[in-house]
């Protein structure tokens, strides 16, 4: 079987008649997903029918979208018409009638929705394990987690089963699995991508976006899905084309770096510190003004915890069968009973203060460079048999560099930096100013060109 292509190459090959991408993706899913458990649902018949429709449109001479015929996987928390939106559990049972806004825009651009991907229930943890969907494994080493909560999407893309997939990020859930699986994952500015039919995702915390094997592929998908609706609570500022940003040189930037985590008491793995130092040297060689900084991180606890618990409680009440929620989720629901609307209002006001303090670092630099996560990808089974408190204590270190930027709202990207001596990927995080995804895309593409990363995890 030929090596899988990226988004741009797949669309070009389909348009030229060289490739049947959907059949190839389905074959790779059949070959690889048994060992990985990345997909919760494979929409084989629907995807083949959709691909046939794309062929008919091409034959008829219709204008083709930028994702023409490209198979894309969708995280379980997003609505795909005709499927149950499970949020990673068993508490819903009725298929939704319509696509969510992101899926609708993907189809309008020519994408083929090939299936839905695993996640921990409600995306509550940075590991992809659940009672309903089982354990999802990292394609670089199946003894390890792909991270989470978009771990199914990450595993599917890293294994080459699909060119790209859609995830969500409420506390690092695009960036952490991207780091674990060697992918590029950009959390966009809050309000950049519509959450419709919902008004928001975990209040200020959640965003939606792609996980891809290249920077350019991410930019192509973002240019398709970005843009809020009047019904969305949050709205990002205007930017130019992300594809154009990824294609241009970033210019000489002021880049501040630190390995200091937001969470006290967390020690980053020496390999992650080394990855930052190596990136500092690379960026210096590329002509940037790179300096160590102390971001003077604010404490995000008062703002983050109520929105995390409130988000889980809100999603729990949306379910058709509350009694089918995981025991741990029901425990979390009870623990969060103190999160009233008044508490959320206090947390939202605290979020504004946290954002202002976090953004002070950008008075002196254009981009902040940090590790994406402190520790190496966890062994599988880390959530099994745990309650809310133990699971949260295991999860807390993983979000120690990333969750702050969900509160602040800033765009932030996990950028691959090769493989460590354990055979698993390394990554760094780039954080940008408010609404400045274009600089992150330009800089990330420059890093990718200067220091290419492995694109597809090897088969066992």
Q: Which residues are catalytic?
A: 75, 149, 173
End-to-end CA distance of the chain: 14
User: What is the rounded CA–CA span in Å between residue 99 and residue 112?
Assistant: 13
Length of the chain: 460
All residues at 6 or more sequence positions from 245 whose CB lies less than 8 Å from its CB, including other chains: 219, 239, 437, 438, 439, 441, 442
19 in Cβ contact with 9 (< 8 Å): no
Beta bridge partners of 209: 167
Helix (H, G, I), strand (E, B) or coil at 212: strand
Task: Report which of 201, 257, 298, 240 is spatially closest to residue 415, judged by C-alpha positions.
Answer: 257
DSSP assignment letter at 389:
H
User: What is the rounded CA–CA span in Å between residue 177 and residue 174?
Assistant: 6
User: What is the rounded CA–CA span in Å between residue 257 and residue 276?
Assistant: 8
Helix (H, G, I), strand (E, B) or coil at 152: helix
Sign of CA dihedral 147, 149, 152, 155: negative
231 in Cβ contact with 195 (< 8 Å): no
Helices (H), 68-214: 101-108, 151-158, 175-181
User: What is the rounded CA–CA span in Å between residue 341 and residue 349?
Assistant: 13
Q: Sort 2 into a burial class: Cβ within 10 Å, 0-12 / 13-18 / 19+.
A: exposed
Helix (H, G, I), strand (E, B) or coil at 42: strand
186 in Cβ contact with 441 (< 8 Å): yes
Looking only at the bridges linking them, the beta strands covering 129-130 and 412-419 are: unpaired
User: What is the rounded CA–CA span in Å between residue 347 and residue 97?
Assistant: 34
């Amino acid at each position: 079987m030929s090596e899988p292509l990226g988004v741009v190459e797949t669309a070009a090959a389909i348009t030229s008649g060289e490739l049947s991408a959907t059949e190839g993706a389905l074959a790779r899913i059949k070959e690889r997903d048994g060992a990985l458990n990345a997909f919760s649902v494979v929409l084989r018949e629907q995807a083949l029918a959709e691909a046939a429709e794309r062929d008919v449109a091409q034959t008829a001479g219709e204008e083709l979208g930028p994702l023409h015929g490209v198979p894309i996987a969708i995280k379980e928390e997003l609505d795909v018409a005709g499927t149950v939106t499970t949020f990673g559990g068993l508490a819903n049972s009725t298929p939704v009638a319509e696509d969510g806004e992101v899926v609708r825009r993907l189809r309008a651009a020519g994408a083929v929705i090939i299936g839905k991907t695993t996640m921990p229930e409600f995306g509550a943890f940075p590991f992809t394990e659940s009672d309903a969907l089982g354990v999802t494994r990292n394609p670089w080493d199946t003894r390890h987690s792909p991270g989470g909560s978009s771990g199914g999407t990450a595993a599917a893309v890293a294994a080459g089963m699909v060119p790209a997939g859609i995830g969500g990020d409420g506390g690092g859930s695009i960036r952490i699995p991207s780091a674990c699986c060697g992918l590029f994952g950009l959390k966009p500015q809050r309000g950049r991508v519509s959450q419709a039919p919902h008004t928001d995702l975990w209040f200020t915390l959640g965003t939606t976006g792609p996980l891809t094997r290249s920077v350019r592929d991410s930019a192509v998908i973002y240019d398709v899905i970005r843009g809020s609706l009047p019904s969305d609570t949050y709205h990002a500022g205007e930017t130019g084309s992300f594809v154009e940003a990824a294609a241009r040189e970033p210019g000489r930037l002021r880049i501040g770096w630190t390995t200091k985590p937001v969470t006290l008491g967390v020690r980053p793995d020496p390999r992650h510190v080394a990855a930052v130092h190596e990136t500092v040297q690379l960026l210096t060689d590329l002509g940037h003004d790179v300096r160590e900084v102390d971001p003077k991180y604010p404490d995000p606890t008062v703002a983050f915890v109520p929105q995390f618990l409130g988000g889980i409680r809100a999603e729990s009440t949306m379910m058709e069968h509350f009694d089918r929620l995981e025991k741990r989720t029901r425990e979390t629901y009870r623990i969060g009973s103190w999160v009233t609307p008044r508490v959320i209002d206090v947390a939202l006001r605290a979020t504004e203060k946290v954002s202002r303090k976090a953004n002070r670092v950008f008075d002196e630099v254009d981009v902040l460079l940090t590790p994406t996560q402190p520790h190496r990808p966890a062994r599988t089974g880390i959530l099994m048999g745990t309650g809310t408190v133990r699971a949260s204590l295991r999860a807390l270190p993983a979000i120690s560099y990333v969750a702050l930027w969900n509160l602040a709202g800033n765009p932030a990207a996990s950028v691959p930096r090769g493989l460590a001596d354990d055979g698993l990927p390394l990554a760094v995080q780039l954080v940008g100013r408010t609404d400045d995804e274009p600089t992150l895309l330009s800089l990330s593409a420059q890093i990718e060109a200067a220091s290419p990363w492995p694109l597809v995890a090897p088969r066992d």
